[in-house]
């Protein structure tokens, strides 16, 4: 069984985010790391391949400046190889263009039994890319999977909904987006980190994948305004001296909710 | 401007997110609802919020709404009725439909929006970033239909007094291989008390509770205040409570009169889901916790000490 995982490499979320003053897009020029949301998909893929008793996990990532550090993290977890889509022309690409590029990379790898992505990225979170990839490839999809099992050439998933969850069954090949928490991602071992350095990563451009137009030209959207939101007025913050609860009671009384 | 709204329903009634979008849409133009299912039960409520007409697919026969409704929308558009704008609630189904349709129509999407403006032919949407500190407005520059998804509670639902929406059939086309996924069972996670996104008081717990069993304190407090219990994603991911409890960017948006955050740090993704609350109370042992930055009343303290006393005091009343 072969599984492809779409992984995003993003600025460290622990650092404050910022926008490029000229293009108003999120800045992504520093060192990038593997989006934590994608570590669940990588782990899921590794477990499924392991269970199937054969096959491999491949990665696809689109990132500026030939960035591979996040890809290496996923390779160190156990993925076999990767494709990196990196091309200055891609700056400003929207989610639809991204999906077309990722879908083309899936085809370049010869397809797979299963394509896994996170429900949304941690930095841009448009939240449509997995389902768009499925549509570009003409594949069925199960989004928001919080549980996933494969048997007899089909997948069974629990798909999170607003009210609970649905049991969904789907033939392969298929695209699945997985929620954080679907599995517990492993930490790369030292051996894994060393091995990852030698694993093949092919770098391709939009032209290599035959996708056009890309970047701002293909985005059909333009940021027109950026403003600071009105800040909330500062409140009272007090140290609990054992009577903190009484301050809450008084606050609620004052609002006449108790 | 000709506008479609992707309508959703639960328990035989349109969801609040649907009614909010219809209300906003009718201030911008002519409104048609598009529903994946049988619209008989909901056509009155849709009409009463501004939809003159509703396209209904009929029973989805176990198909996932994303592929099914997007295919039905595409068929109507190919048939000659093409809107200028389609508005979607930012929900699991809304996200799937907008994504599938964007590929079918080759149109860009704007998601996570909280506001929309229309000036002439130009449609622009606004989305909060960096936890709501910054508002980014983006205009569609390509040809219509424009596809946009909106966070719940971005607009206020108000009846228009309109007649029931006229039901027009939009049958499901053959979905082919893309329609391979089938729903075999639906599980509704029942909970007692008011709904999380409608309650006047919400009490949410986070990782600071330490362990799953301590969430009991949150449930107890919510019950005493006749409110709903919510959660940060950290404890949803950890499996302490179901996803339906989650407040935030990828969970529910709540705007109660009072929001109590206990043992929640105040990550930007949590704050965008509760920042609109009228009054915010935070309990956290770390005085540097970002949640204090938006709290009207902040208690720097241990939830294991503050909550039991608070519960006791409320029980004694
Ligand atoms: C794409 C994306 C989407 C996300 N969507 C959401 C979302 O919808 N909702 C959401 O909530 N999160 C979301 N998150 C996760 C978010 O970034 C945070 O990880 C999460 O909100 C943290 O939850 P928490 O505050 O419970 O945990 P932590 O951040 O670990 O905070 C725990 C807090 O408890 C305090 N504490 C510890 N012990 C005690 C004690 N005894 N008494 C009092 N206080 C104590 C600590 O000081 C700390 O501030 C999302 C993340 C991403 C990347």
Contact A168 B64 (CB under 8 A): yes
- For residue B221, the model assigns a pLDDT of 98
Calculate what percentage of chain B has a pLDDT beyond 70. 100
Dihedral sign for Cα B64, B69, B72, B77, please: negative
Among A103, A128, A180, which would you mutate to test the B interface (most chain B Cβ atoms within 10 Å of its Cβ)? A128
Which residue do the tokens 């990852």 mark? Answer: A196
How would you class B18 by CB atoms within 10 Å of its CB: exposed for 0-12, middle for 13-18, buried for 19 or more?
buried
Contact B233 A180 (CB under 8 A): yes
pLDDT-derived band at B240 (thresholds 50, 70, 90) equals very high
Report how far residue A81's alpha carbon sits from residue A74's, in angstroms, rounded to the nearest whole number. Answer: 9
CATH (residue range B196-316): 3.40.50.1220
Is residue B166 over pLDDT 90?
yes
Residues B177, B180, B182: CA angle, nearest 5 degrees: 165
Residue of chain B with shortest Cα separation from A154: B181
Q: Which of B179, A27, B225 is nearest to B262 (CA)?
A: B225
Q: Is residue A46 within 8 Å of residue A78, measured between CB atoms?
A: yes
SS3 B26: helix
Q: State the fold for domain B2-180.
A: Rossmann fold (3.40.50)
The closest-lying atom of ligand 1 relative to the alpha carbon of residue B249 is: 8
Query: Averaged over B48-59, what is the pLDDT?
Result: 98
Residue B117, both tokens: 């403006």
What is the Å distance from ligand 1's center to B40 Cα? 42
Residue B159, both tokens: 């009846």
- For residue A48, the model assigns a pLDDT of 97
Query: Averaged over B18-38, what is the pLDDT?
Result: 98
The CA–CA distances, whole Å, from B115 to A225, B25, B31 equal 13, 11, 17
Q: Is the CB of B201 under 6 A from ligand 1?
A: no
- The residues spanned by each domain of chain A are 2-221
What is the residue with the minimal CA distance to atom 29 of ligand 1? Answer: B265
- For residue B179, the model assigns a pLDDT of 97
Give the pLDDT confidence of A151-163 residue by residue, as tens digits.
Answer: 999 999 999 998 8
Q: Is the CB of B205 under 6 A from ligand 1?
A: no
Q: Which of B241, B265, B239 is nearest to B252 (CA)?
A: B241
Residue of chain B with shortest Cα separation from A144: B92
Q: Is the CB of B107 under 6 A from ligand 1?
A: no
Q: Is the CB of B15 under 6 A from ligand 1?
A: no
pTM: 0.93
CATH (residue range A2-221): 3.40.50.620
* Below-70 pLDDT ranges, chain A: none
Q: How far is CA B27 from the centre of its chain?
A: 20
Tell me B24's DSSP state.
H
Q: Is the CB of B165 under 6 A from ligand 1?
A: no
Report how far residue B109's alpha carbon sits from residue A131's, in angstroms, rounded to the nearest whole number. Answer: 13
Report how far residue A226's alpha carbon sits from residue B129's, in angstroms, rounded to the nearest whole number. Answer: 10
What is the pLDDT of chain B when averaged over all its residues? 96
pLDDT-derived band at B211 (thresholds 50, 70, 90) equals very high
What is the Å distance from ligand 1's center to B259 Cα? 15
Q: Which neighbouring-strand residues pair with B85?
A: B3, B146
- For residue B61, the model assigns a pLDDT of 94
Q: Is residue B161 within 8 Å of residue A138, measured between CB atoms?
A: no
Q: Which of B195, B196, B204, B192 is nearest to B232 (CA)?
A: B204
- Interface predicted TM-score (ipTM) over 0.85: yes
Is the peptide bond prior to B203 cis by the omega test (within 30 degrees of 0)? no
Q: Is the CB of B254 under 6 A from ligand 1?
A: no
Count other C-beta atoms under 10 Å from residue B10's C-beta.
Answer: 14
Contact B297 A235 (CB under 8 A): yes
- For residue B126, the model assigns a pLDDT of 97
Q: Which residues of A touch B70 (CB under 8 A)?
A: 135
Query: Averaged over B274-295, what is the pLDDT?
Result: 96
Burial B227-253 (b: 16+ CB within 10 A, else e): bbbbbbbbbbbeebbbbbbbbbbbbbb
Residue of chain B with shortest Cα separation from A179: B237
- For residue A181, the model assigns a pLDDT of 85
Count other C-beta atoms under 10 Å from residue B280's C-beta.
Answer: 24
Q: Is residue B7 within 8 Å of residue B37, measured between CB atoms?
A: no
- The residues spanned by each domain of chain B are 2-180, 196-316
Burial B112-147 (b: 16+ CB within 10 A, else e): bbbbbebeeeebbbbbbbbbbbbbbbbbbeeebbbb
Query: Averaged over B180-207, what is the pLDDT?
Result: 94
């Amino acid at each position: 069984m072969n599984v492809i995982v779409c992984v995003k490499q993003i600025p460290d979320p622990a650092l404050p985010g910022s926008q490029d003053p000229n293009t108003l897009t999120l800045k992504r020029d520093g060192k990038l790391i593997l989006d934590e949301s994608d570590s669940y998909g990588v782990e899921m893929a590794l477990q499924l391949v392991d269970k199937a008793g054969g096959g491999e996990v491949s990665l696809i990532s689109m990132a500026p400046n030939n960035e591979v550090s996040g890809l290496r993290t996923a390779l160190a977890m156990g993925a076999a190889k990767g494709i990196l889509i990196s091309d200055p022309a891609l700056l400003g690409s929207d989610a639809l263009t991204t999906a077309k590029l990722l879908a083309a990379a899936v085809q370049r790898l010869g397809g797979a039994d299963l394509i896994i992505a996170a429900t949304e990225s941690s930095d841009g979170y448009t939240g449509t890319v997995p389902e768009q990839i499925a549509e570009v490839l003409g594949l069925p999809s199960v989004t928001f999977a919080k549980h996933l099992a494969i048997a007899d050439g089909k997948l069974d998933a629990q798909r999170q909904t607003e009210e609970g969850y649905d049991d969904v069954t789907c033939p392969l090949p298929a695209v699945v987006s997985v929620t954080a928490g679907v599995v517990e991602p492993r930490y790369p071992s030292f051996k894994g980190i060393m091995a990852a350095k030698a694993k093949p990563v092919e770098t391709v451009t939009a032209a290599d994948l035959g996708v056009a137009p890309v970047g701002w030209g293909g985005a059909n959207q333009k940021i027109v305004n950026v403003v600071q939101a009105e800040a909330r007025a500062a409140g009272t913050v007090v140290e609990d001296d054992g009577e903190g609860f009484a301050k809450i009671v008084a606050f609620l009384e004052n609002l006449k909710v108790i | 401007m000709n506008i479609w709204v992707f309508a959703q329903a639960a328990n035989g009634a349109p969801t609040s997110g649907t009614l909010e979008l219809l209300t906003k849409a009718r201030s911008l133009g002519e409104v048609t609802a598009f529903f994946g299912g049988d619209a008989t039960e909901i056509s009155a409520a849709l009409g009463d919020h501004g939809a003159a007409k509703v396209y209904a697919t009929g029973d989805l026969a176990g198909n996932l709404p994303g592929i099914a409704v997007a295919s039905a929308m595409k068929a109507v558009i190919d048939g000659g009725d093409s809107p200028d704008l389609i508005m979607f609630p930012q929900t699991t189904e809304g996200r799937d439909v907008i994504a599938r349709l964007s590929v079918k129509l080759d149109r860009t999407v704007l998601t996570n929006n909280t506001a929309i403006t229309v000036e002439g032919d130009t449609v622009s949407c606004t989305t909060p970033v960096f936890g709501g500190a910054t508002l980014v407005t983006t205009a569609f520059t390509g040809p219509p239909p424009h596809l946009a998804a909106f966070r719940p509670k971005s607009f206020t639902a108000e009846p228009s007094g309109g007649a029931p929406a006229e039901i027009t059939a939009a049958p499901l086309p053959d979905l082919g291989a893309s329609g391979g996924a089938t729903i075999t069972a639906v599980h509704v996670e029942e909970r007692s008390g008011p709904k999380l996104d409608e309650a006047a008081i919400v009490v949410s717990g986070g990782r600071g509770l330490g362990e799953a069993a301590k969430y009991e304190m949150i449930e107890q407090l919510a019950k005493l205040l006749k409110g709903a219990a919510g959660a940060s994603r950290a404890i949803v991911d950890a499996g302490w409570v179901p996803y339906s409890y989650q407040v935030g960017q990828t969970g529910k948006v709540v705007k109660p009169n009072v929001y109590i955050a206990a043992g929640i740090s105040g990550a930007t993704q949590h704050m965008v889901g509760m920042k609109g609350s009228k009054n915010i109370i935070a309990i956290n042992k770390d005085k540097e916790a970002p949640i204090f930055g938006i709290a009207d009343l902040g208690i720097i303290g241990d939830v294991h000490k503050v909550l039991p006393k608070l519960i006791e005091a409320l029980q004694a009343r």
